[in-house]
Amino acid sequence: DAGVIQSPRHEVTEMGQEVTLRCKPISGHNSLFWYRQTMMRGLELLIYFNNNVPIDDSGMPEDRFSAKMPNASFSTLKIQPSEPRDSAVYFCASTGGAANQPQHFGDGTRLSIL
């Protein structure tokens, strides 16, 4: 089975540019999570969706960040405008079913804002 697929794997862009990160969850999973990982702050939950509906976005750092899930097989995380402090590895994860089911993570997008 295909795992969680994220694109791009690496992104380097200049401050002020719009950045869009993409995620395809595992087929049949109905919950999707976006995380950010930095050396300073560790792994932070940004937002998660159940059945394509955003449930908790309290981890989104500010209004420059937005996330959408237009259907069960696709989600985007957008940063506009981007800033150097947004540089991090962004992970997407998905899960389905009961509370004891684990989350499956993608390989992440390494984002560098110059």
Partner 1 sequence: GNSVTQMEGPVTLSEEAFLTINCTYTATGYPSLFWYVQYPGEGLQLLLKATKADDKGSNKGFEATYRKETTSFHLEKGSVQVSDSAVYFCALSRANQAGTALIFGKGTTLSVSS
When binding is defined by CB under 8 A, the residue of 15, 43, 85, 114 that contacts partner 1 is: 43
When binding is defined by CB under 8 A, the residue of 25, 95, 111, 113 that contacts partner 1 is: 95
- Find residue 53's DSSP bridge partners: 50
- Find residue 12's DSSP bridge partners: 112
Q: 61 in helix, strand or coil?
A: coil
The radius of gyration of the chain from alpha carbons, rounded to an integer in Å, stands at: 13
**Binding string, 4-33, against partner 1, x = CB under 8 A?**
x-------------------------xx-x
Distance (Å, rounded) from C-alpha 72 to C-alpha 66?
18
Give the residues lining the site for partner 1 (CB under 8 A): 4, 30-31, 33, 42-43, 45, 48, 50, 55-56, 91, 93, 95, 97-108
